[in-house]
Amino acid sequence: MSTEINDAQSYEVTDLTSLEKLEPVRIRPGMYIGSTGSKGLHHCIWEILDNAIDEISNGYGDKAIITLNANKSLTVEDNGRGVPTGIHPIKKKSGVEMVYTELHTGGKFDNKNYKTSGGLHGVGAAVVNALSEWLVVEVNQKGNIYRQRFENAYDKELKKIMPGTPVTKLEVVGKTEETGTRVTFMPDKEVFTSTDFKFDYIDERLQELSYQNKGIRLILIDNRKEESITKEYHSERGLLDFIDYLNESKTVLHKEPILFEGDREVNGISINAEICMQFTDSTTEYIASYVNNIPTTESGTHETGFKTGMTRVFKEWAKKLNLIKEKDKEFEGDDLREGLTTIVKIKINNPIFEGQTKTKLGNNEAYTIMNDLTYTKLSEWIEDNKETATSLITNALDAAARREKIKKINEAEKKKVGKGTAPLAGKIAVCTLKEPEHCEFIVVEGDSAGGSAKQARDRRFQAIMPSKGKIMNTEKQKLENVIASEELKIFNVAIGTGILDNYKESDLKYNKIIIMSDADVDGYHIRTLWMTYLYRYMRPLITNGHLYIALPPLYKVYKHTKGADLVKYAYSDDDLEKVKKEIGKGFLIQRYKGLGEMNPDQLWDTTLNPETRTLQQVTLEDAVKAEKMVSLLMGDVVEPRKHYLYKYAEF
Ligand code: TSJ
């Protein structure tokens, strides 16, 4: 949110070309909101919502309401002071009009980001206006209801259609005792590839935002279907609630989470940091980090600083507490963080965002500050909690020993077998090409489907691994058992990368790893087991885009004719209706109960042939959700799982 109106310097600027200012947004929307897909569309919501949350965080108002309207537009409103409605003395425009028609400098995607609050977001409400078919702002202030409307409309001065043009003045349309801002916009179908707002996506983000901004009420209303849905998010304990949520299905090793906060300044960079940590008996660590409310999924200097500070203080205390004899092997940071859930949340005045998706913090000051703060605060905590700290350090030493063991096993396994050498011959049908970029590794559920797949495949680039029944649930197993599993060993050797810290992308032998299972409950379970294993043990395989799910058809729709039969496949029930129409009168339907029912030709046409098959790439877009899914679906604690399964029953 701009404060330009009260800023003396900006009064000197009288820039008539500012009328043209929204045009670049239409020409290159990606530069301002990242993409014109679903992500970019939702970016518009966060953009507007940020302003409301800012206002509330500053102590004005207590709630923001997001409404998905029946006409597909979206409304965000707050009960703050309302965007200033006064007229700017030089520009002769209202504050409202300036907010919606003038672009912020900075905050662009191709640039380094310099925005104080909002970071990635904070490119300004004007951007949303420019990308909307129309936008209406209403402000309750000084006893009046003000309203102004913007559209893609003819601009009298520029004599052409311009985006985000005011089509009304800021008018008083009524009286009210209340204060606040309400913005409604209709995303432009000419800009976005999809203009469907996704309830689950917004839902998840609002929950996160309520943990980040404790005390604020965030309300989501969906009026698109006959029955309206309302959800409210509100957290009194902030990060403490968030960590309970994250660890809901894990077994925690200490009841009270570690919570600390601090303000520091280095070289004009000031940071307010809040950290919450809790150890669990899980085999992996999980860190969620945020900068100015934005999830930093690509990590950055704040996370690294935290980790370094934590390792440093625990190592020092390990010596002080006589847990490491001089000659003993020490532990490393990773060993210490096994099973640790952490939330790192910082506010910083001048964030520099880097990385592919601009979600990696780059400021070196953040490293220094977080390192120092973590060291100091954790030292105090250990002082008061020597018993817990001792057992955590003992765990870290155990983890270090296990890691050494695994490394040795891994190296031995890697040396033993290359692609297609003896021990695998019976199990895996390898492909003839060696270049990974062409090769696919397909895990097929069941021996009979595996057999068909071996016959049907293109043996030049497709390798098949038939997988008998269910692999172990790696979420519930200790590392040593996972490593001992025959099935996983075969898989690991074939893939070539190694697991956990030893994962090496350059050793990957197949560009695509494809999980192919039946379209039924068992098949779904098998797929989840594989994904759980890969998520925990070979995560870069997923984040680097190598993992795919094959989608086999549910139905074959066909008709006998004089020549060759007319055949089409349907991949969903909706699809079936479409395909029936395409085939026309006299169609017959075969419902596939499993991959095993297809003959090799059918299997090739529907699921293997790159020209005709449908693959679904597995991504980790929402890291919190992925972690929750895996730990909930596969973990020990049963109650939340039931709840979750109900929630996601449609899977
Ligand atoms: F994005 C947006 F600009 F469209 C927008 C802004 C959207 C929504 C839903 C809310 C807001 C918004 C802005 N809510 N509250 C404010 N506050 C101000 O703009 C404001 C009010 C008073 C003063 C002041 O100094 O008196 C300063 C500001 C920035």
CATH number of the domain that residue 347 is part of = 3.30.230.10
Q: Copy the structure tokens of residue 561.
A: 């004719």
Confidence of residue 258 (pLDDT cuts 50, 70, 90): very high
Residue of the CA atom closest to atom 23 of ligand 1: 84
Q: According to the model, what pLDDT value does residue 516 have?
A: 94
Confidence of residue 70 (pLDDT cuts 50, 70, 90): very high
Check whether residue 559 and residue 543 sit in a common domain.
Answer: no
Rounded CA-CA distance 472/469 in Å is 10
Q: How many domains does the chain have?
A: 4
124 lines ligand 1 (CB under 6 A): no
181 lines ligand 1 (CB under 6 A): yes
Q: According to the model, what pLDDT value does residue 424 have?
A: 53
Task: Choose among 184, 217, 231: nearest CA to 53.
Answer: 217
Task: Choose among 107, 158, 106, 103: nearest CA to 131.
Answer: 103
For the cut 70, the answer to whether the pLDDT of residue 638 exceeds it is no
CB 478 within 8 A of CB 338: no
For the cut 80, the answer to whether the pLDDT of residue 423 exceeds it is no
Mutational test site, ligand 1, from 5, 45, 55, max ligand atoms within 8 Å of CB: 55
For the cut 90, the answer to whether the pLDDT of residue 102 exceeds it is no
Residue of the CA atom closest to atom 10 of ligand 1: 52
- State the closest ligand 1 atom to the C-alpha of 52, by its place in the atom list counted from 1: 10
Check whether residue 212 and residue 348 sit in a common domain.
Answer: no
Domain contains 253: yes
Rounded CA-CA distance 6/1 in Å is 12
51 lines ligand 1 (CB under 6 A): yes
Q: According to the model, what pLDDT value does residue 217 have?
A: 97
Domain contains 6: no
For the cut 90, the answer to whether the pLDDT of residue 148 exceeds it is yes
Check whether residue 518 and residue 564 sit in a common domain.
Answer: no
CB 265 within 8 A of CB 340: no
67 lines ligand 1 (CB under 6 A): no
Q: According to the model, what pLDDT value does residue 446 have?
A: 84
Q: According to the model, what pLDDT value does residue 24 have?
A: 86
- State the closest ligand 1 atom to the C-alpha of 3, by its place in the atom list counted from 1: 29
Mean pLDDT of 175-200: 96
The label of the residue with tokens 């000051």 reads 365
Domain contains 321: yes
Distance 104 CA to ligand 1 centre (A): 15
For the cut 90, the answer to whether the pLDDT of residue 564 exceeds it is no
Report pLDDT digits (tens) over 575-606. Answer: 899 999 888 888 899 888 888 888 888 899 99
78 lines ligand 1 (CB under 6 A): yes
The type of residue at 214 is K
Rounded CA-CA distance 281/399 in Å is 12
Rounded CA-CA distance 424/110 in Å is 48
164 lines ligand 1 (CB under 6 A): no
Q: According to the model, what pLDDT value does residue 113 have?
A: 30
For the cut 60, the answer to whether the pLDDT of residue 648 exceeds it is no
Model pTM score: 0.73
CB atoms within 10 A of CB 156: 8
Rounded CA-CA distance 618/515 in Å is 10
Rounded CA-CA distance 392/377 in Å is 17
Domain that holds residue 494: 422-551+616-620
Positive or negative, the Cα torsion across 101, 105, 110, 112?
Answer: negative
489-503 in b/e form (b: 16+ CB < 10 A) is: bbbbbbbbbbbbeeb
96 lines ligand 1 (CB under 6 A): no
Report pLDDT digits (tens) over 454-494. Answer: 999 999 999 999 988 788 888 888 888 888 888 898 899 89
The torsion of the CA quartet 240, 246, 251, 252, rounded to 10 degrees, works out to -30
Least confident of 29-43, 193-207, 222-236, 248-262: 29-43
Write the CATH number for 571.
Answer: 3.30.1490.440
Among 233, 267, 288, residue at a domain's last position:
233
Among 233, 257, 284, residue at a domain's last position:
233
Check whether residue 211 and residue 302 sit in a common domain.
Answer: no
Write the CATH number for 507.
Answer: 3.40.50.670
Domain contains 3: no
Domain contains 399: no
Distance 81 CA to ligand 1 centre (A): 7
Write the CATH number for 191.
Answer: 3.30.565.10
Distance 288 CA to ligand 1 centre (A): 29
Check whether residue 585 and residue 483 sit in a common domain.
Answer: no
Check whether residue 533 and residue 502 sit in a common domain.
Answer: yes
Greater confidence (150 vs 9) lies with 150
For the cut 50, the answer to whether the pLDDT of residue 11 exceeds it is no
Check whether residue 180 and residue 248 sit in a common domain.
Answer: no
Query: Where is mean pLDDT largest: 19-33, 97-111, 603-617?
Result: 603-617
Report pLDDT digits (tens) over 325-337. Answer: 766 678 999 999 9
Q: According to the model, what pLDDT value does residue 386 have?
A: 96
For the cut 70, the answer to whether the pLDDT of residue 422 exceeds it is no
208 lines ligand 1 (CB under 6 A): no
Domain contains 627: no
Does an H or E element contain 176, and which?
none
Among 180, 209, 233, residue at a domain's last position:
233
63 lines ligand 1 (CB under 6 A): no
For the cut 90, the answer to whether the pLDDT of residue 402 exceeds it is no
CB 484 within 8 A of CB 471: no
Rounded CA-CA distance 545/449 in Å is 26
Check whether residue 116 and residue 209 sit in a common domain.
Answer: yes
Mean pLDDT of 15-23: 56
Check whether residue 594 and residue 568 sit in a common domain.
Answer: yes
44 lines ligand 1 (CB under 6 A): no
Domain contains 17: no
55 lines ligand 1 (CB under 6 A): yes
Q: According to the model, what pLDDT value does residue 20 have?
A: 58
Q: According to the model, what pLDDT value does residue 642 have?
A: 53
76 lines ligand 1 (CB under 6 A): yes
- State the closest ligand 1 atom to the C-alpha of 80, by its place in the atom list counted from 1: 15
For the cut 60, the answer to whether the pLDDT of residue 372 exceeds it is yes
Check whether residue 327 and residue 206 sit in a common domain.
Answer: no
Check whether residue 546 and residue 560 sit in a common domain.
Answer: no
Confidence of residue 110 (pLDDT cuts 50, 70, 90): very low
Residue of the CA atom closest to atom 18 of ligand 1: 83
Distance 181 CA to ligand 1 centre (A): 7
Confidence of residue 339 (pLDDT cuts 50, 70, 90): very high
Question: First and final CA of the chain: distance in angstroms?
Answer: 40
Mean pLDDT of 243-264: 94
Residue of the CA atom closest to atom 13 of ligand 1: 83
Distance 164 CA to ligand 1 centre (A): 19
Question: Which residues, 6 or more positions from 223, have their beta carbon under 8 angstroms from its beta carbon?
Answer: 67, 68, 69, 70
Domain contains 605: yes
402 burial via Cβ count (<10 Å: 0-12, 13-18, 19+): middle
Question: Which residues, 6 or more positions from 486, have their beta carbon under 8 angstroms from its beta carbon?
Answer: none
Per DSSP, the three-state class of 191 is coil
For the cut 80, the answer to whether the pLDDT of residue 2 exceeds it is no
Check whether residue 341 and residue 382 sit in a common domain.
Answer: yes
Per DSSP, the three-state class of 618 is coil
Q: According to the model, what pLDDT value does residue 624 have?
A: 72
